[in-house]
Amino acid sequence: AQSVSQHNHHVILSEAASLELGCNYSYGGTVNLFWYVQYPGQHLQLLLKYFSGDPLVKGIKGFEAEFIKSKFSFNLRKPSVQWSDTAEYFCAVNFSNYGQNFVFGPGTRLSVLP
Amino acid sequence: EAQVTQNPRYLITVTGKKLTVTCSQNMNHEYMSWYRQDPGLGLRQIYYSMNVEVTDKGDVPEGYKVSRKEKRNFPLILESPSPNQTSLYFCASKGDLSYNEQFFGPGTRLTVL
């Protein structure tokens, strides 16, 4: 079965620190990749997505992600985090050979200390 | 305002008592989906629908039913809820089958005693 893993369960950073959250998936075919953010008590919002083309994609709020096909990875980065980035982050993959089934990673909780 | 709505937002029920969680979207989206969110497991897809009268199982369909009789509505039905279905449920929709962004509803927190 397809699966998505996220390297860290909980990350704690100080403001202005750089962020990198890891995401790996299990399938070697064509994929569509997403990062979602969930602020406390809220629903999921899309940060960025990759379908094809430039493997470095830029999203909202200064986030970016790099797709490395050979490593089955789609890591999320931000050069300088803010307290308002405190949230849970989910990587999601649509495995195209499996139709419209979307698989989410378990999530990484980010706490940014002021 | 374009949105996905869910009702109820909070529900406490007892084992075996049938319940329905409604989901509605006003964006004329073809695709709708249900997820459950559990700590440490992320979101897991329960069922999805690519159009009216077309539904498919996700990763965790056991104990759930869905129907898609109208494009805008996609109710989730628990015929005989059990405590292991206590969870946070999200409905989502997207415009077409070309893997665009899913829009999520506000969530329904269900507790089964």
Displacement of CA A102 from its chain's centroid (Å):
14
Q: Are B20 and B84 in contact (CB under 8 A)?
A: no
Cα separation, B50 vs A18, in Å, equals 39
Task: Per-residue pLDDT tens, chain B, 113 aa: give them.
Answer: 879 999 999 999 999 999 999 999 999 999 999 999 998 888 999 999 988 999 999 989 999 999 999 999 999 999 999 999 999 999 999 886 665 678 999 999 999 99
- pLDDT of the residue at A71: 93
Pairing label, strands A64-68, B4-7: unpaired
Share of chain B above pLDDT 70, in %: 96
Cα separation, A64 vs A54, in Å, equals 12
In B, which residues are within 8 Å of A9 by CB distance? 40
User: Which residue, among B16, B111, B23, has the nearest Cα to B67 in the 3D structure?
Assistant: B23
Nearest chain B residue to A46 by CA: give it.
Answer: B101
* A49-106 tens-digit pLDDT: 998 899 999 999 999 999 999 999 999 999 999 999 999 999 999 887 656 778 899 9
In B, which residues are within 8 Å of A33 by CB distance? none
Contact between chains at B104 and A45 (C-beta distance less than 8 A): yes
Chain A within 8 Å of B54 (Cβ-Cβ)? no
* A13-63 tens-digit pLDDT: 999 999 999 999 987 678 889 999 999 888 899 999 998 899 999 999 999
User: Which residue, among B94, B85, B90, has the nearest Cα to B106 in the 3D structure?
Assistant: B90
Nearest chain B residue to A43 by CA: give it.
Answer: B106
Phi, psi for residue B55 in degrees, rounded to 5? -130, 150
Q: Are A99 and B56 in contact (CB under 8 A)?
A: yes
